[in-house]
Structure 1
Amino acid sequence: MSGRLQQLLAFCVSGWLALTARPVKAANCSVELPAPTNLTVVLRGIGHVNCSWSWLTPRHLENDTSSLYQYKSSFQYDDGRWEQRKINSLLYREQCVDRNRKVIFKVRVYVKNETGSCRSSNWVSITIPSDEGVVAVENFICVFYNFEYVNCTWDVNPTAPDAIYHFHYWQRSMASVQNCSDYIYKGNRRAGCQIDGDKLLKESALNSRVQGVSARGKIKPFYYKLESFAFVKLRPPGRINVARIREGFNVSWEIPSDWKSHCTKYEARVCSVKRDSCVVYECQNAVEKINDADTKSKNSIQVRAMYDVCGSSGIWSEWTPKHYFGEDAGTTWNWSIALLIFIPVLVAVTAIMLFPKLKQLRRWILPPIPDPGRLLKDMFLDGNGDHSVGQLFVASA
């Protein structure tokens, strides 16, 4: 019996130790391999770099077929944290980087065999300095209007020296950097560029650069990368159709045939005129069922669209004009406004019609009062108007 108790106690103790034991961190790779050599960086297009290097397998490892040699690389911006980490077996790496800041690239050899042990080399790095000069460009923004044209605009720091600004753009499919051919002006200064959509590949990111040239000082170029579809602003959807169904209303709207339905999302804003309140519905298709709209009052609906690809949201379009539906959706007569218009008109017409008879009406209501002076005068006058004193006759005795 005591033997079984000892075994049970030993089992419990070993289980507790297994549960409370801290994991042991794997040891760092031993530095046994030679570092890469001939590290170079070539600037390509706008904002892209091609990093390449060389590495020869040591003679004592040439016959080692159980190990896979790879290269770890990453970028650092303005002495910040290392990011954009990558591991592959290629002797080069192409990457889009932020040229507005200082960039450092580093790479080392890494190998891990079947037993799990790893070996590596020391890091080698190269610095890509940022351009020097005064920062002049502010509030830079680009909008791709319905895939028809791109408008890129910017403001200039008031403290920057007077300069002429040049706009350049580039996509990976382009053989060379393109110059702007249609500038947007603010006063006499270049403040933007319009690019024809037919010149761009819609599924590719747009890399741009604004470069100022001044005789009074050096101006630092401004770089900006626009992800695919992230700066697209569609036009509002087409005609809205509303159909009454048993549960409420079925709403649909027209979209252009060149829109990718799986890349577009919508918002429908339904407002009750009676309650003066609105509800916004998120829609994945160009149709929506509205169940909570007041069917006994007038309602309005507006729709807008946005390109949404792989979580990269674009810019919402403008709202469509209001489309009314419901029992009062037809033309309604506002009696209060009608009365305000009708009553003054009625009074004016009546006054015009009664004006000729206004004098007769006044005589009938207020008869004329006789003139007392004229009455007294008539009493002392004869019929012929003779005012002489008559003769006195005395009878004789």
Structure 2
Amino acid sequence: MTVNAVFWGFFGTAMLMVFHSEADHRLPALKNLSYTWVDPFTLNLSWSWDKPKHLPDSCTINYEIHYPDKSEVRQVRTPNHHYEISFLTEQLESNEGNFSIHALTELLAESCAGWKKSESENISIGTQKPIVEVVKDFKCSIASSQTNCSWEPVSPSVDLKISYRICGIREENSLKKCHQFYRDGIRTGCLLQNDGQENNICVLAENAAGLQTFQAKRVIPLPKLNIRKDEDYLNLEWTSPDIGKACQLKYVVCYSECNRDKGCLEYRSVLNTLKHGPLPILYNKNCRYEFKFNATLEKYCPTIPSDGIAVECYGNNTDSIQPSDGTLTVVAIVIPVILSVGVILSCYCFRRHRAILCPTMPDPSTIFKEMMNGNKEQKTISESLYTPVPEPIEPITITPVSENSIFQQKS
């Protein structure tokens, strides 16, 4: 046997051992992966997994779950063969969500050295009804006595059912129905039991066409603004909304003066006070002020914004106000250009029609002199007429001739 044959035989055996070792050290994939809906907001995943014979008992196995959340992919880990997860249809970009699960060992565990994670097992999640948009712009305004939710129905003529509960996985959280429905223009609403102050609200909206589940947007009523003039200032004050709890509010106020943007200011209220303010604004009596503001719960409360933006105006613009900086800039540029063009055109027209615009005028003194001497010239007109000088004329002598003498000359 040659040296080359021995070398190649040894090399082939080593490679087979390597491949065999890698195959043995990859964890097996999951089996019997399935899911069930505990309620419209809770998904239960379950699976089975066979432990390899050569895996040490001290090696701990976890299961990593990847699931969609709108445009992102989130992941969680569990040592169990089942997992309950709060899952809403608004997290899906299509009617089905793809979940991916694989087994892996504890990181940096010496007993698990050499074992690689398993191949991923995938499953598509569906719902009992098709996932469709049933409502839009769903928001709940919280207050001390009740939570008022409203929305715009996608199909107003279709029967709609609204159910809700506190978000999260809790056995005591049973699904509740909306009651006291009302209509306000294009919006429909209902009153919820007072559950929205401290917790997020998960909502199930369904009709015959399908369903959707989502987390309701929570808002607070817009505080009422009072504008009070105090000498050279306008003092802005708000009445705190009744949300049943002492919270600090942050106000953001953007305003304009004489149609000029003056930027935005922030004001934070004092705890346990019904009146918030004042926020002083320097006042110009010749200007109209427009205030736009919103409020947000901050300290000691969940961060919840106000429902939209409010607009309040004060005063009027008068003739004595100065134009805005933008107007002054435009005027400073446009007027000199117009004047320059006008001067150039005027000079051109003047030169072109100079004879018409500026004809040669007679000497005024001559005209005046002729007017003053007009009567005198009429009296002496005969003296001033031209008299021709007679020319000398030579006398002409005419001699008569008889007819006989004329005939004699011809013969």
TM-score bracket for the superposition, by shorter chain length: 0.5 to 0.7
- Which of 134, 138, 141 does residue 138 from structure 2 map onto? 141
Aligned to 2:64: 72
- Matches for 1:229-244 after TM superposition, within 5 Å: 230-237=217-224, 239=226
Query: 2: CA distance between counterparts of 1:318 and 1:186?
Result: 19
Query: 2: CA distance between counterparts of 1:29 and 1:129?
Result: 34
Shift of the 165–254 alpha-carbon distance from structure 1 to 2, 3 Å rule, reads closer
Query: 1: CA distance between counterparts of 2:252 and 2:290?
Result: 10
- Matches for 1:158-169 after TM superposition, within 5 Å: 163-169=158-164
Residue 83 in structure 1 maps to residue 73 in structure 2: yes
Query: 2: CA distance between counterparts of 1:166 and 1:47?
Result: 16
Is the 1:268–1:301 Cα contact (8 Å) retained in structure 2?
A: no
Q: Kindly provide the amino acid, as one letter, of the partner of residue 252 in structure 2.
A: E
* TM-fit CA distance, 1:104: 2.5
* TM-fit CA distance, 1:314: 3.2
- Matches for 1:253-292 after TM superposition, within 5 Å: 253-256=238-241, 258=244, 261-262=247-248, 264-272=249-257, 275-286=258-269, 287=277
Is the 2:67–2:97 Cα contact (8 Å) retained in structure 1?
A: yes
Q: Kindly provide the amino acid, as one letter, of the partner of residue 72 in structure 1.
A: E
Q: Kindly provide the amino acid, as one letter, of the partner of residue 231 in structure 1.
A: R
Query: 2: CA distance between counterparts of 1:201 and 1:89?
Result: 34
Is the 1:261–1:285 Cα contact (8 Å) retained in structure 2?
A: no
* TM-fit CA distance, 1:140: 4.5
- Matches for 1:286-301 after TM superposition, within 5 Å: 286=269, 287=277, 293-294=282-283, 300=289
- Which of 68, 83, 89 does residue 93 from structure 1 map onto? 83
Is the 2:96–2:126 Cα contact (8 Å) retained in structure 1?
A: yes
Is the 2:223–2:238 Cα contact (8 Å) retained in structure 1?
A: no
* TM-fit CA distance, 1:120: 1.2
Unaligned runs of 5+ in 1: 1-27, 214-218, 325-397
Shift of the 242–118 alpha-carbon distance from structure 1 to 2, 3 Å rule, reads farther
Query: 2: CA distance between counterparts of 1:63 and 1:303?
Result: 66
Q: Kindly provide the amino acid, as one letter, of the partner of residue 204 in structure 2.
A: R
- Which of 77, 102, 105 does residue 108 from structure 1 map onto? 102
Query: 2: CA distance between counterparts of 1:299 and 1:176?
Result: 54
Query: 2: CA distance between counterparts of 1:266 and 1:82?
Result: 33
Please report the TM-score for the alignment, with normalisation by the length of structure 2.
0.52
Query: 1: CA distance between counterparts of 2:38 and 2:187?
Result: 26
Q: Deviations over 1:66-110 (max 9, x none)?
A: x44322111248xx9771222344544333334362122221111
Q: Deviations over 1:253-286 (max 9, x none)?
A: 4425745544x321224443xx343534242503
Aligned to 1:207: 202
Unaligned runs of 5+ in 2: 1-21, 270-276, 316-411
Is the 1:266–1:285 Cα contact (8 Å) retained in structure 2?
A: yes
Please report the TM-score for the alignment, with normalisation by the length of structure 1.
0.54
Query: 2: CA distance between counterparts of 1:59 and 1:232?
Result: 57
Shift of the 61–238 alpha-carbon distance from structure 1 to 2, 3 Å rule, reads same
Is the 2:221–2:307 Cα contact (8 Å) retained in structure 1?
A: yes
The secondary structure found in structure 1 opposite 2:173 is: coil
Q: Deviations over 1:140-164 (max 9, x none)?
A: 4223254643223233348xxx642
Is the 2:227–2:234 Cα contact (8 Å) retained in structure 1?
A: no
Is the 2:247–2:297 Cα contact (8 Å) retained in structure 1?
A: no
- Which of 294, 301, 326 does residue 305 from structure 1 map onto? 294
Q: Kindly provide the amino acid, as one letter, of the partner of residue 109 in structure 1.
A: A
Bigger proportion of residues as helix: 2
* TM-fit CA distance, 1:237: 4.2
Query: 2: CA distance between counterparts of 1:303 and 1:140?
Result: 22
Query: 1: CA distance between counterparts of 2:25 and 2:165?
Result: 41
* TM-fit CA distance, 1:122: 2.3
Query: 2: CA distance between counterparts of 1:40 and 1:31?
Result: 26
* TM-fit CA distance, 1:197: 4.8
- Which of 151, 154, 171 does residue 153 from structure 1 map onto? 151
Query: 1: CA distance between counterparts of 2:183 and 2:234?
Result: 48
Q: Kindly provide the amino acid, as one letter, of the partner of residue 120 in structure 2.
A: W
Is the 2:138–2:150 Cα contact (8 Å) retained in structure 1?
A: yes
Residue 194 in structure 1 maps to residue 190 in structure 2: yes
Shift of the 46–171 alpha-carbon distance from structure 1 to 2, 3 Å rule, reads farther
The secondary structure found in structure 2 opposite 1:120 is: coil
Aligned to 2:41: 47
Residue 319 in structure 1 maps to residue 310 in structure 2: yes
Aligned length: 274
* TM-fit CA distance, 1:49: 1.2
The secondary structure found in structure 2 opposite 1:34 is: coil
Query: 2: CA distance between counterparts of 1:250 and 1:183?
Result: 40
Percent identity between matched residues is 14
Query: 1: CA distance between counterparts of 2:314 and 2:23?
Result: 67
